[in-house]
A and B are shown apart, each in its own frame.
Chain A
Amino acid sequence: MSLYRWLDRRFELDPLVRFLQHKEVPVGTHSLFWYYLGGLTLFFFAVQIGTGALLLVYYQVGEQTSYESIRFITTKVPFGWLMRSLHCWSAHLMIVSLVLHMLSTMLLKAYRMPRELTWVTGFVLFALALGFGFSGYLLPWNELAFFATAVGTDSVKAVPGIGEWLMQVLRGGADVSGNTLYRFFALHVVILPLATFAVVGVHLLFIQRQGMAPPRGHAASHGMRFFPDFALRDVLLWLLCLLLLASLAVFLPYGPRIPGVEWELGRKANPLAPAYPGIKPEWYFLWVYQLLKEFPPHLFRIEGPRAALGVVTVLMGIWALVPWLDRRASREQASPAFTDLGVAAILFIGLLTLKAWDIGGGAAAQPDVRAVARACALWTLVAGFAATVLRFAFLRHTWFVFTGAVLLQAALHGFAGFSYLGASAIGALTAATGVVLSRDRSTLAGKPP
């Protein structure tokens, strides 16, 4: 206690301690589970910083050293294999918890006034996490990373006006080379961490100032003290996740060997070697990768990749601006359209990701595209109908326009022989018609029909 007093006399800690003692988590009829996801993402980020720092002790960036040093870390450095495996597993689990955190915020409308900027900073953190994944993928300088980065950076060319320039800035030249490796390393270990620390700081500051959001319509009956009650629960979950991480690192050190979730070192990158078929990005980029594949080389005189990236940009823009688009939630009214938008987004991304994995295509090198479309559509329809039934039965949801549009798109593409884009166009028209027709319906106000 004397140390605390010594510090208190110098830094006036008492107000801070009083603030923390009074900090509370809203408790009501809603589940507290959703409140742990942000902290869990932060825990995985901390694991990334720790394991990343240890890897940095031995990692030597460079065309002649990156691959060799990673091989040295995984084969010769004591527990080097464990650090790399923890780093990779934690990276993927961090994205999982981040996505769940964002989806729970979306579905519980926690972004509503006055927390719009908290949502926006969260969206920026999501983009930064994707940047971490993209830049870190190249650092082992192995074959898979090289070609995946070549494909990934090439797609940047589709940005109108500055695409070529942007690609050259990313690559440090016309092609993926040692220059790319150096700048991706700088991005991964300096620029992105500094940016993330800053944005995480702002994100947490907003949460401290505004408190955690109770779900709309669930008034908090009382609060749970953050210290020690909620914090201890947080730590308990982190410990369980640490156990999970350690077990995965020991039993599946190179990942579950699913395309986009594997990190076996393989062969060293050879810029002169031809690219081999089946190169895929990490799982969270797969839906964009598949969307790029679904577009023809040209669509209405626009280059296919440019049109596909345009669609992705519009969708991400809508996602980032949801707090302002969902005006009902800001007025503390029900906004079932945006709840349904969240569910539809999961199904939309799920269908594309399944297709990227060639689900239903068997083990053939060139799977039958129709069989893949059928199997992926079937899984999407099953998941979509199950979600709809559960929402109707347990949550009393009655607005399913967006979900219905995605399920129609999946059915047309999988079972009626429509191309993906044709089915998507019909799905989008259906969604637009559904929105217009139901604008003034009582369902939008959350009243039962």
Chain B
Amino acid sequence: MTALAMIACTLAAAAAESFPEPIRPFLAAKAKDGTKVLSDHDIEKLARMPEHTRQLVGAAADSMILGSANHLRILLSLDLSPQDMELVVQDNCILCHSDPGNVKPRALFSPDPAKQGSNPLLDLREFVSDAHFRRGLSCSGCHGGTPKDESMSNEIGKRWPKEEERHSDRSWIPDFCARCHSDPAFMRGFNPTLATDQLNKYKESRHGMLLLREKDPRAAQCVSCHGVHGIRGPKSRKSSVNPQRIPDTCGACHANPRHMAGYKTDSGEPMPVTQVPEYKASVHGQALLEKGDLGAPSCTGCHGSHAAMPPAVASVAQVCRRCHAMNGQLFDSSPHKVAFEENKWPECGQCHGKHAIARPMDALIGDRPGTLCHDCHAQHARDNAICDKTSARFRAALDELSSGRAEVAPYEMELAEKGLDVEPLSRAVSELDEALLQARSRVHSFDLGTFEQAAGPAGDALARARQSIAAAHADHRLRQRGLLAAIGSIGLLALGIALKLRELRRRRDGK
């Protein structure tokens, strides 16, 4: 046992020698309860880092800014890449403010601020994931001073308004961020594809007007949406401006009745706070949030991001046309276009709604009470025989085609399982789907002729689908009859052989 212990000690000593001298005492440091501060796993992580990174960690320990084994343990717990570790250990701001033995909790960056009782914004794990930090821009980039400062420089904080002012008036923030983000020459060195017109757009937005002109501190500015120390690009799923997280980011204010209290719409009504839950239940919200379709619009898809503004009645339909262009064109040539303009109705929103846009259904169309067409015409254009006939035909044709589709589609699986040729049926169902989609879109023309151009081919495709099902069933019957014939003929042959065998046996028994 003694020999084994000696071997283990020798191996441990040899391993410790591979680390820079200033950090060797950390490797054996023990906590008050006698346990080692750095676990074997921590030491292994440090050992796996490149020599250059370990030398930089050693230099930080040598300067005493990396002050203890516990401090090193905290940095290792971040699981940083060697490149990020090198950034951290060369930045005295981070080193000092992440050392629990050096700063008070209110200024301490830690991997778990809640446990340390510090500000949630001082999350060290978030900070080392920040897009700015990852591109080499650290604390001093915003706060002032330099990463090499060994004590708090007088330059720190000079770039900002005084503390009592900067919280009550947030209008300095957009200009502060724009120092870099509106400078194309500067931004080109980091991300040449990133736009640099955000400040100009923001100034024209409702948020910008409220903040910059009315000095409203509740109005959203850069950090309201992008965050402070954990800013990530929109492609990151953790980013507050990732398309799938935008509804919640906007909802942080717009779904909060206390925050929105006092704000009014253009028509002077209190600003509603139901948009986010309505959006989440809508066809767009479900496509984006549940199906993961990033092509579906979130809040910024219709309202814009930096230039966010509620679309006016005149422009809201143009927003919809960005994706639903075909329906927009059909509507523009329809008799409804003039009527809607005269009544100052928002085109698409009048029938489909705004944030709570539901999946359009054929049941909305028709000349019966309860349908959109009937109810609106009963109120505004009563007793129009042509309109009644048009809506009745739309509904009847769509019902027939969709019920026909529901009737033929299951045969694809059934016939395929029987080994029958389902290619003609699959083709016909695809054509039916395409024509049905077209027919539903052409409803927006409110014209029977235009509608029939798609409904006619859909009817033909449905007829072809039914014919191919009948042909496949006939083929299956033929196969079964063929099998019966084969069974009959092979059975007869087998019977003949069985009789011959019986005769042979009798003949042999007779002998």
Contacts of B416 in A (CB 8 A): 264
Contacts of B473 in A (CB 8 A): none
Cβ of A81 within 8 Å of any chain B Cβ, yes or no, is yes
Do A250 and B479 touch (CB < 8 A)? yes
Q: Which of A55-63, A229-237, A330-338, A440-448 contacts B (4 or more CB under 8 A)?
A: A229-237
Known: A74-B419, A253-B418. A243 touches B504 (CB 8 A): no
Which residue of B423, B479, B490, B497 is within 8 Å of A242 (Cβ)? B490
Do B497 and A250 touch (CB < 8 A)? no
Which residue of A75, A229, A243 is within 8 Å of B491 (Cβ)? A243
Do A239 and B493 touch (CB < 8 A)? yes
Do B497 and A232 touch (CB < 8 A)? yes
- For window 142-197 of A, CB contacts with B under 8 Å fall at none
Do A250 and B490 touch (CB < 8 A)? no
Which residue of A75, A85, A232 is within 8 Å of B423 (Cβ)? A75
Contacts of B467 in A (CB 8 A): none
Say how far B481's CB is from chain A's closest CB, in angstroms: 10
Known: A75-B423, A228-B504, A242-B490. A247 touches B483 (CB 8 A): yes
Do A239 and B486 touch (CB < 8 A)? no
Cβ of A213 within 8 Å of any chain B Cβ, yes or no, is no
Do B498 and A236 touch (CB < 8 A)? yes
Do A246 and B497 touch (CB < 8 A)? no
Closest to B486 in A: A246
Do B487 and A239 touch (CB < 8 A)? no
Contacts of B498 in A (CB 8 A): 236
| Alpha-carbon distance A81/B417, docked complex (angstroms) | 13
Do B479 and A240 touch (CB < 8 A)? no
Contacts of A399 in B (CB 8 A): none
| Alpha-carbon distance A85/B418, docked complex (angstroms) | 11
| Alpha-carbon distance A242/B489, docked complex (angstroms) | 12
Cβ of A137 within 8 Å of any chain B Cβ, yes or no, is no
Say how far B487's CB is from chain A's closest CB, in angstroms: 6
Do B494 and A254 touch (CB < 8 A)? no
Do A239 and B497 touch (CB < 8 A)? yes
| Alpha-carbon distance A74/B418, docked complex (angstroms) | 12
Closest to B418 in A: A253
| Alpha-carbon distance A242/B494, docked complex (angstroms) | 11
Which residue of A85, A228, A246 is within 8 Å of B487 (Cβ)? A246
Cβ of B421 within 8 Å of any chain A Cβ, yes or no, is yes
Cβ of B168 within 8 Å of any chain A Cβ, yes or no, is no
Say how far B361's CB is from chain A's closest CB, in angstroms: 33
Known: A253-B418, A254-B417. A236 touches B501 (CB 8 A): yes
Do A229 and B483 touch (CB < 8 A)? no
| Alpha-carbon distance A75/B418, docked complex (angstroms) | 12
Do A246 and B418 touch (CB < 8 A)? no
| Alpha-carbon distance A253/B418, docked complex (angstroms) | 7
Contacts of B487 in A (CB 8 A): 243, 246-247
Which residue of A232, A233, A247, A254 is within 8 Å of B419 (Cβ)? A254
Binary interface profile of A, 290-319, with partner B (CB < 8 Å = 1, else 0)? 000000000000000000000000000000
Binary interface profile of A, 54-76, with partner B (CB < 8 Å = 1, else 0)? 00000000000000000000111
Say how far B235's CB is from chain A's closest CB, in angstroms: 21
Binary interface profile of A, 217-238, with partner B (CB < 8 Å = 1, else 0)? 0000000000011001101100
Do A243 and B486 touch (CB < 8 A)? yes
| Alpha-carbon distance A229/B503, docked complex (angstroms) | 10
| Alpha-carbon distance A232/B493, docked complex (angstroms) | 11
- For window 405-456 of B, CB contacts with A under 8 Å fall at 416-419, 421, 423
Which residue of B421, B480, B494, B504 is within 8 Å of A250 (Cβ)? B480
Task: Tell me the dominant secondary structure on chain A's binding face.
Answer: helix
Cβ of B201 within 8 Å of any chain A Cβ, yes or no, is no
Cβ of B500 within 8 Å of any chain A Cβ, yes or no, is yes
| Alpha-carbon distance A236/B486, docked complex (angstroms) | 15
Do B480 and A243 touch (CB < 8 A)? no
Contacts of B501 in A (CB 8 A): 229, 232-233, 236
What is the size category of the interface that chain A forms with chain B? Answer: 20 to 34
| Alpha-carbon distance A254/B494, docked complex (angstroms) | 27
Contacts of A228 in B (CB 8 A): 500, 504
Say how far B505's CB is from chain A's closest CB, in angstroms: 8
Known: A229-B504, A242-B490. A253 touches B419 (CB 8 A): yes
Binary interface profile of A, 243-268, with partner B (CB < 8 Å = 1, else 0)? 10011001001100000000010000
Say how far A55's CB is from chain B's closest CB, in angstroms: 15
| Alpha-carbon distance A228/B493, docked complex (angstroms) | 16
Known: A75-B423, A246-B487. A236 touches B504 (CB 8 A): no
Say how far B292's CB is from chain A's closest CB, in angstroms: 17
Do A243 and B497 touch (CB < 8 A)? no
Contacts of A74 in B (CB 8 A): 419, 421
Binary interface profile of B, 492-511, with partner A (CB < 8 Å = 1, else 0)? 01100110110010000000
Say how far B452's CB is from chain A's closest CB, in angstroms: 34
Closest to B475 in A: A81
Say how far B428's CB is from chain A's closest CB, in angstroms: 15
- For window 57-102 of A, CB contacts with B under 8 Å fall at 74-76, 81-82, 85
Closest to A250 in B: B483
Closest to B482 in A: A250
Do A239 and B494 touch (CB < 8 A)? yes
Do A239 and B500 touch (CB < 8 A)? no
Closest to B422 in A: A75
Contacts of B417 in A (CB 8 A): 254
Do A239 and B490 touch (CB < 8 A)? yes
Say how far A88's CB is from chain B's closest CB, in angstroms: 11
Which residue of A75, A82, A85, A235 is within 8 Å of B497 (Cβ)? A235
Contacts of B494 in A (CB 8 A): 236, 239-240, 243
| Alpha-carbon distance A419/B501, docked complex (angstroms) | 56
Residue among B419, B423, B490, B501 with the most chain A CB within 10 A?
B419
| Alpha-carbon distance A250/B423, docked complex (angstroms) | 19
Do A236 and B483 touch (CB < 8 A)? no
Say how far A342's CB is from chain B's closest CB, in angstroms: 32
| Alpha-carbon distance A233/B423, docked complex (angstroms) | 44
Contacts of B493 in A (CB 8 A): 239
Closest to B424 in A: A75
Contacts of B421 in A (CB 8 A): 74-76
- For window 301-322 of B, CB contacts with A under 8 Å fall at none
Binary interface profile of B, 459-474, with partner A (CB < 8 Å = 1, else 0)? 0000000000000000
Say how far B167's CB is from chain A's closest CB, in angstroms: 51
Say how far A73's CB is from chain B's closest CB, in angstroms: 11
Say how far B86's CB is from chain A's closest CB, in angstroms: 34
Say how far A132's CB is from chain B's closest CB, in angstroms: 23
Say how far B479's CB is from chain A's closest CB, in angstroms: 5
Closest to B494 in A: A239
Do B419 and A85 touch (CB < 8 A)? yes
Contacts of A232 in B (CB 8 A): 497, 500-501, 504
Contacts of A82 in B (CB 8 A): 479
| Alpha-carbon distance A229/B487, docked complex (angstroms) | 24
Residue among A239, A246, A253 with the most chain B CB within 10 A?
A239
| Alpha-carbon distance A179/B504, docked complex (angstroms) | 56
- For window 89-132 of A, CB contacts with B under 8 Å fall at none
| Alpha-carbon distance A246/B416, docked complex (angstroms) | 18
| Alpha-carbon distance A236/B501, docked complex (angstroms) | 10
Closest to A80 in B: B421
Closest to A85 in B: B419
Closest to A82 in B: B479
By a beta-carbon cutoff of 8 Å, the part of chain A in contact with chain B is: 74-76, 81-82, 85, 228-229, 232-233, 235-236, 239-240, 242-243, 246-247, 250, 253-254, 264
Name 14 interchain pairs, CB-CB below 8 A, sorted by A.
Answer: A74-B421, A81-B419, A232-B497, A233-B501, A236-B494, A239-B490, A239-B494, A240-B494, A246-B483, A246-B487, A247-B483, A247-B487, A250-B479, A253-B419
Besides the known contacts A75-B421, A239-B493, 14 further A-B residue pairs in the complex with CB atoms under 8 A apart: A76-B421, A81-B419, A85-B419, A228-B504, A229-B501, A232-B500, A233-B501, A235-B497, A239-B494, A243-B490, A246-B483, A246-B490, A250-B480, A254-B417
Query: Nearest 4 CB-CB pairs, A to B?
Result: A253-B419, A75-B421, A239-B494, A250-B483
